[in-house]
């Protein structure tokens, strides 16, 4: 069956020119049904994409520094106006300064819960670097999208980030999630879309251009999945703006244009300043022979009298000063700093009155608070993504069965402090609460990465296991009778009572393995299993069924 997708005018407004055209759509497999619902949402998403394409492309130009000079006065020569390139990089700095404070470090797994595969999935798909790219794209265009789907060949779950300039989505306000989405996945050398994916609740369609239209194939279908496998990564989400807003706001673009014009006018004035303007009053222009510039640069020049015997008058015009332009740039930089919460010095402007350290730190604190709020928002969006991804991996009947309690994303600290300040904080906190200082929280505050924290914990586990083994070997090598404190007389019963230390509640797999190895050493030394277990602090536990057969045969 072939469905015709027509472009219609929206209230008399023409469609914006963009490299996306959709003709006929037909299902590649007759078993699939690309029905009226899919066609309806494809039309809606195509319209959304067209409506936002121009603004997304404009913000990309500002981010890349490729915007054109416009609204300029006639005082600038046409040649300089045509060859002028933007000398200010404020839009990119507005994006990167905040993106540098939102860096995903990994996932923290509570020791009391089992990891259903979150860490393995994140490592396999490269979620950490991908999240950094998605956040930068979100700050540039207001949002980015993370799509989840099972690979058609390997069936492994894949996570791919998509930029907003090649994507479109419709928000479901009643359920507070994405209703459907469209992502352009391939384009030709001319920039025209040749492949795209239509995302709907419980299904995904791959559309491929075949010359006469689009061939649609359903690559994923799960009626039990109630959500669209697309998660937005948005900046500054509001109730009326569920996809957020861009860091490159209209205010910042206007200020960038002002800075562009000011720098170009300053460059033009500098060109005039380099060549002094001299007027010869009462002298015929034909009196100049050769280059006028060489005349100006010659050390000695002579001017003859005119036919009336009068001497021409020479006047040099006063050159324009650079001070007004510097003051203008300083004013614009202060306005950009106010709009982006970036210190003015970081914008490449040296102010006439240097800002104090307290003022710079205050500006950084405002940006850090925004980053902390965004990291909390990104945490919720990441957990939605991982919940859908773990569900697609299998083993769950419905999405509600996926429990990710005790699993949280970990972000790098938004504020960078010196090593001395970190050590001082850890020392003071450790004197009040030693558990916090020795926990992963304290180590992250110290600046250790997730890999370094895992390495430290593994070393601690091996060290505890080695200490346990050394203590047990020392205890086994001593005679069982006659040890100080081994047996004490019980005055009430006349019997003996053996003292032993209780096992540590923090023993992990490494400590238990070491304990069993030490138990084997004790048995080979002629010590009974129960006596060796008592020395380990495991008295009262029957180890008979846990001892390897080879060791059981050696013991009597």
What are the pLDDT digits (tens) for 386-397?
Answer: 999 999 988 888
Q: How far is CA 311 from CA 284, 299, 307, in A?
A: 12, 20, 10
Q: CB under 8 Å to 518, separation ≥6 — which residues? A: 468, 469, 472, 473, 476, 532, 536
pLDDT at 415 over 90: no
> Which stretch of 2-16, 62-76, 83-97, 234-248 has the lowest confidence by average pLDDT?
2-16
CA atoms within 13 A on the CB side of 380: 10
Dihedral over alpha carbons 350, 355, 358, 364 (to 10 degrees): -40
Give pLDDT tens digits for 99-154. Answer: 999 999 889 888 788 889 999 999 999 999 999 999 999 999 999 999 999 987 78
Give the model's pLDDT for residue 29.
Answer: 59
- List the structure tokens of 6: 């027509």
Alpha-helical regions (H) of 184-291: 250-274
Direct distance between the N- and C-terminal alpha carbons of the chain, in angstroms, rounded to an integer: 81
Element spanning 199, H or E = strand 193-200
In this predicted model, what pLDDT tens digit does every residue of 441-477 receive, in sequence order? 777 777 777 777 778 777 777 777 777 667 766 665 5
The predicted model gives 490-501 an average pLDDT of 41
> Distance between CA atoms of 444 and 415, rounded to whole angstroms?
12
pLDDT beyond 60 at 328: yes
Helices (H), 9-163: 36-64, 78-83, 90-99, 118-125, 127-141
Residues 6+ apart with CB under 8 A from 107: 118, 119, 122, 407, 408, 409, 410
429-445 confidence digits (pLDDT tens): 777 777 777 777 777 77
pTM of the model: 0.71
pLDDT at 232 over 90: yes
Strands 313-316 and 167-172: unpaired
Given a cut of 60, is residue 314 above it in pLDDT? Answer: yes
Is residue 220 classed as helix, strand or coil in its secondary structure? strand
19 against 458, higher pLDDT: 458
Per-residue confidence (pLDDT) for residue 109, from 0 to 100: 87
pLDDT band at 50 (very low <50, low <70, confident <90, very high): confident
- CA dist., res. 295 & res. 288, Å (int): 8
**The pLDDT of residue 37 is above 90:** no
Q: Percent of the chain, pLDDT > 90?
A: 29
DSSP 207-239: EEE-SSEEEEEEEEE-TT--S-SEEEEESS-BT
Q: Which residues face 205 on adjacent strands?
A: 198, 218
Is a pLDDT exceeding 60 seen at residue 403? yes
pLDDT above 60 (res 17) = no
pLDDT, tens digit (0-9, with 9 covering 90-100), for 274-287: 666 666 666 666 65
Phi-psi region of 232 (alpha: psi -120 to 50; beta: other; left: phi over 0): beta
């Amino acid at each position: 069956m072939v469905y015709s997708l027509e472009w219609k005018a929206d209230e008399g407004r023409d469609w914006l020119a963009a490299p996306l055209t959709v003709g006929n759509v037909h299902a590649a497999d007759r078993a699939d049904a690309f029905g009226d619902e899919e066609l309806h949402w494809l039309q809606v998403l195509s319209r959304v994409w067209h409506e936002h394409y121009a603004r997304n492309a404009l913000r990309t130009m500002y981010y890349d520094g490729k915007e054109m000079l416009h609204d300029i006065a006639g005082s600038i020569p046409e040649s300089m106006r045509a060859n002028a390139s933007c000398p200010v990089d404020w839009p990119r700095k507005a994006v990167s300064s905040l993106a540098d404070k939102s860096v995903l470090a990994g996932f923290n797994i509570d020791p009391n819960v089992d990891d259903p595969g979150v860490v393995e999935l994140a490592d396999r798909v490269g979620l950490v670097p991908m999240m950094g790219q998605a956040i930068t794209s979100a700050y540039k265009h207001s949002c980015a999208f993370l799509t989840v789907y099972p690979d058609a060949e390997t069936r492994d779950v894949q996570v791919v980030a998509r930029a907003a300039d090649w994507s479109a989505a419709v928000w479901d306000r009643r359920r507070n999630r994405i209703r459907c989405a469209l992502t352009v996945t391939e384009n030709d050398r001319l920039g025209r879309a040749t492949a795209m994916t239509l995302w709907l609740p419980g299904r995904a369609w791959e559309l491929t251009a075949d010359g006469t239209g689009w061939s649609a194939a359903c690559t994923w279908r799960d009626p039990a999945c109630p959500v669209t496998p697309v998660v937005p990564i948005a900046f500054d989400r509001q109730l009326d703006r569920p996809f957020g807003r861009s860091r490159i706001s209209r205010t910042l673009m206007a200020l960038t244009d002002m800075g562009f014009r000011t720098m170009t006018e300053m460059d033009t004035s500098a060109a005039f300043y380099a060549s002094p303007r001299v007027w010869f009053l009462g002298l015929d222009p034909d009196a100049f022979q050769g280059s006028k510039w060489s005349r100006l640069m010659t050390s000695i020049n002579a001017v003859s009298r005119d036919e009336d015997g009068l001497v021409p008058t020479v006047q040099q015009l006063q050159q324009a000063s650079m001070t007004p332009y510097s003051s203008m740039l300083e004013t614009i930089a202060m306005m950009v700093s106010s709009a982006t919460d970036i210190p003015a010095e970081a914008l490449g402007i040296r102010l006439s009155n240097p800002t104090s350290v307290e003022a710079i730190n205050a500006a950084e604190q405002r940006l850090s608070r925004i980053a902390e709020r965004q990291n909390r928002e990104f945490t919720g969006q990441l957990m939605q993504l991982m919940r859908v991804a773990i569900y697609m991996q299998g083993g769950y009947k419905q999405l509600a069965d996926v429990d990710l309690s005790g699993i949280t994303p970990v972000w790098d600290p938004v504020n960078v402090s010196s090593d001395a300040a970190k050590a001082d904080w850890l020392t003071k906190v450790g004197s009040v609460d030693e558990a916090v200082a020795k926990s992963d929280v304290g180590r992250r505050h110290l600046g250790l990465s997730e890999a370094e924290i895992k390495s430290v914990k593994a070393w601690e586990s091996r060290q505890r296991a080695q200490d346990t083994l050394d203590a047990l070997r020392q205890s086994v090598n001593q005679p069982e009778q006659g040890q100080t404190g081994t047996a004490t007389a019980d005055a009430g019963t006349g019997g003996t009572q053996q003292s032993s230390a209780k096992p540590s509640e923090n023993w992990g797999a490494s400590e238990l393995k070491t304990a069993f190895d030490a138990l084997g050493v004790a048995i080979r030394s002629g010590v009974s299993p129960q006596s060796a277990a008592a020395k380990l602090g495991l008295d009262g536990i029957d180890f008979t069924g846990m001892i390897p057969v080879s060791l059981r045969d050696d013991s009597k």
